[in-house]
Amino acid sequence: MTIKVTVWGENVHEQTNEVVARIYPAGMHNCIAEALNEDPHIEARAVTLQEPEHGLTEEVLENTDVLLWWGHAAHGDVRDEIVDRVQARVLQGMGLLALHSAHYAKIFKRLMGTTCSLKWREAGERERLWVVNPGHPIVQGVGDYLELPHAEMYGEPFAVPNPDEVIFISGFEGGEVFRSGLTYKRGNGKIFYFRPGHETYPIYYDDKVRLVLKNAVKWAQPEGAQWIDSCPNVPADQAPNPVEIKGEGLHKPGEEGFK
């Protein structure tokens, strides 16, 4: 079975920063999609903020098993109705991978219900992401750690809810630590926050980073029946064991407040 993936990219830095444009001439979103498409079980496409409906039409989302989100400079430009749409799909069962600065994305903050704030420093220092949950599907093939020679520092405290699982803890050259790989469940959807990905470093070309993304897509794909946002009335005579009506209900079909 092929996993259908949509990579959402803000696509702002690539247009405004010469360093980013040189590292990612086709855009970070296309670099990530290209990495995922190396796996024969994944079919990834990229969409961007600048497209109609930010590239996240109802049709696109209905045909997306897992959505990857990279944003940084234009979180506020994402329309709330698109955030509502993405949230509904996550609750139904679509997986979500929030990458790097997407900790401040509207959709991630909505799903977390917190500020998602953290400490940061951009000094091009070494980052080592230690695997702290070696049996987890997301880290298979990674080894004890993955190391990035140049990265932006993120430091604790990270203002997110306690995760279901911690997958990575980063140590930085400056001494800070950070929970760099976290999983959550919201509704029927799986969420993975993965810290690496600063735009001025070629992080999405790193083999182990690309492996983590492929593994995470497979982990986050929907499982079983998807939840639907509805509240159907089940008539008493259509119950699995038909029920005799013994009194007047609060609501009647056609009345205000009846669903």
Give the model's pLDDT for residue 259: 47
Kindly calculate the radius of gyration of the chain based on its CA atoms and give it in whole angstroms: 21
CA distance 177 to 50: 35
Local confidence pLDDT in tens for the 259 residues of the chain: 899 999 999 999 999 999 999 999 999 999 999 999 999 999 999 999 999 999 999 999 999 999 999 999 999 999 999 999 999 999 999 999 999 999 999 999 999 999 999 999 999 999 999 999 999 999 999 999 999 999 999 999 999 999 999 999 999 999 999 999 999 999 999 999 999 999 999 999 999 999 999 999 999 999 887 787 778 888 888 999 998 888 776 666 555 554 4
Give the model's pLDDT for residue 19: 97
- In this structure, how many other beta carbons lie within 10 angstroms of the beta carbon of residue 178? 22
Q: Where are the domains of the chain?
A: 3-113+181-220
Give the CA distances from residue 240 to residues 91, 243, 249, in Å, rounded to whole numbers and listed in that order: 27, 9, 20
> Cβ(64)–Cβ(89) under 8 Å?
yes
> SS3 string of 188-224?
CEEEEEECCCCCCCCHHHCHHHHHHHHHHHHHHCCCC
Give the CA distances from residue 241 to residues 96, 145, 234, 247, 251, in Å, rounded to whole numbers and listed in that order: 39, 55, 12, 18, 22
Homologous superfamily assigned to 3-113+181-220: Class I glutamine amidotransferase (GATase) domain (3.40.50.880)
> From start to end of 100-203, where are the E strands?
119-131, 145-155, 165-172, 177-186, 189-194
